[in-house]
Amino acid sequence: MTEFFLELSAVIVVAAALGIIFKKFRQPTVLAFIVTGILLGSAFFDVISFQGVMAIFSDLGIAFLLFLVGINLDPKVLKDIGKTSIITGLGQITFTFIIGFIIANVLGFALIESLYIGLALTFSSTIIIIKLLTDKNDLNSLYAKISIGFLLVQDAVAVVALIFVSAIKTEAILSQQIIVFAFNIVVLAILVWFVSKYVIKRLFDSLALSQELLFLGGISWCFALASLSMILVDSKEIGAFLAGISIASLPYSYEVFAKLRYVRDFFIVLFFVYLGSSFVFASTGEVLVPAIILSLVVLIGNPIIIFVLMSFLGYKPRTAFMSGSSFAQISEFSLILIFLGAKIGHVSQKVTSTITIVAVITIAISTYFILYNNRIYEALFKKIRLFKKSNPLENELSTVKEKKYKLVILGFGETGAKVFSQIKSPKKDILVIDYDPRVVKKCIKEGFDCMYGDATDLDTIKFAMTHKPDIIVSTVMDQETNEILVKEFKKKKKEDRNLIILANSLEDAKHLYEKKADFVLVPSLLAAERIGVIIKDLKKGRNFELDWLRRIHENDINHKK
């Protein structure tokens, strides 16, 4: 136990140190954690010896991650994008497999090895995609929801592929295993539906009486379904995800999410360290050229395939591109599949080393694809306008009229809704733009003119400017987005127009003022100023006003729940 504690301490310290260095050079921290695993693994310093325990910790991270993703998902939106996810997901798997198989065969790999390689290239990493989308605060966007649908389709195909390989390994009857898998999936779905409908609400009502029990109840429910899912369909991911969806509509879901997100982050770090420590590098350069070529198939081919499929389904170029750019890496399922193939003698060590290097290359580069997809899109599509047709879902999320709007609100979450409640302006004078389909649908029902759009998209900003608003309020606290917004606003600036934006920090606010922004507000500074006013009122004995303010505050919180 002492040795493991020292080992874990070394992992955490090195991960933190490299995280600071990577952050300083504006590199993704995910790469820092993977590099930590590579350095401390058997390839270099061989510090990590408790691989089994690290594997368990990484499994916990995956379970927590997908559980919290499920909590944030609206089942109605998932239903809307289900058809797109299935068609595009299966289409991407089919085309990537065919292309990967052909190229592997041309590179000299045997027929059976080419089949394994082609299949390995089709799967993308659920945990990396969701982690990076979470870091970008994009998890509620339409393209992220479609991406999650893709991942579910890929995971289902991956499980079937692993069953196929396992059946060959154990000489079991494949048809029986597939029938059992399908039956167990149905049993799991029925069980989750029944418990969600008749049990879970009462259970969490009781747990909510204690914050400790609510925390423990959330973990218990996540682990219970993840474990059951592993027993029935050999996939903890499906169970953890369903556990989150089943409590997403409860009034306590936000508290459960808030309590578990830091636990999730800790175990996710260990997952990436474990992933890095598992990499096995070939001693010769014979696998390097095939690995680079196959990496290009994943880095370029997968995004193009998804972009084309979604475009023909009618989605806008930006939605199609943002979804496709997320799938430029191979998955942990890919590595498991190849390792299983190696165990039963279907693939050689050369294939294992090749796919391992493909994993390193694609995970490292695709991280930048996801984090900087807005800039990449603008650079590639600045002068290109293709596939103008829009999807019915995106049409449903737009009620914009051809007229002048006095006020445009970019981002109508908690802050945007509060802004509207304070100004008491007629709804007909306001245009709401948000990237969360749930928010847009809610605003449409409430009588606002709305548009589904992302403030990070230059086309969205230009569209807002065509309606000649007197005031634009942006509640999107993303520095890159704010800089684009200020730049575009200045081009069409008139004396009677104003731009109000929110910034994360005083440093960001200062930088935006240097860019000639009109008004920049920092929430933490506003909160401090408000606290100062409250303290002054308390000193003057104005309890009545404070009681009135507190009731308003409580009503806002209860309304949010």
Convert the pLDDT of each residue in 95-111 to its tens digit: 999 999 999 999 999 99
The token pair at 61 is 């991270």
Segment 325-342 shows an average pLDDT of 83
Angle at CA of residue 561, ends 481 and 319, nearest 5°: 35
Q: CA distances (Å), 32 to each of 269, 273, 329, in order?
A: 10, 9, 17
Q: What is the pLDDT of residue 75?
A: 61
Residue 503, Cα to own-chain centre: how many angstroms? 22
The dotted CATH code for 397-521 is: 3.40.50.720
What is the Cα–Cα distance from 221 to 240, expressed in whole angstroms?
Answer: 9
User: For the segment 12-44, what is each residue's pLDDT rounded down to a tens digit?
Assistant: 999 999 999 988 876 778 788 888 988 998 778
Crossing angle of helices 174-198 and 211-233, in 10° steps, is 160
pLDDT in tens, 528-543: 777 777 777 666 766 6
pLDDT tens digit string along 158-176?
Answer: 777 766 775 565 555 656 7
Within a 10 A sphere around the Cβ of 155, how many other Cβ atoms?
21
Q: What is the pTM of this model?
A: 0.69
397-521 shares the fold of 50-379: no
CATH number for 50-379: choose from 2.30.30.110, 1.20.1530.20, 3.40.50.720, 3.40.50.360. 1.20.1530.20
Between 92 and 145, residue with greater pLDDT: 92
Distances (CA, A) of 45 to 32, 54, 361, 435: 16, 17, 21, 45
Which structure tokens are listed for 19?
């995280």
Classify residue 42 by its DSSP letter: T
CA 58 – CA 273 distance, rounded (Å): 9
Residue 466: band (very low, low, confident or very high) from pLDDT cuts 50, 70, 90: confident
Collapsing DSSP to helix, strand or coil, 1 comes out as coil
- Average pLDDT for residues 303-325, to the nearest whole number? 88
pLDDT of 556 > 80? The answer is no
Confidence of residue 561 (pLDDT cuts 50, 70, 90): very low
Spell out the domain ranges in the chain. 1-49, 50-379, 397-521
pLDDT at 546: 59
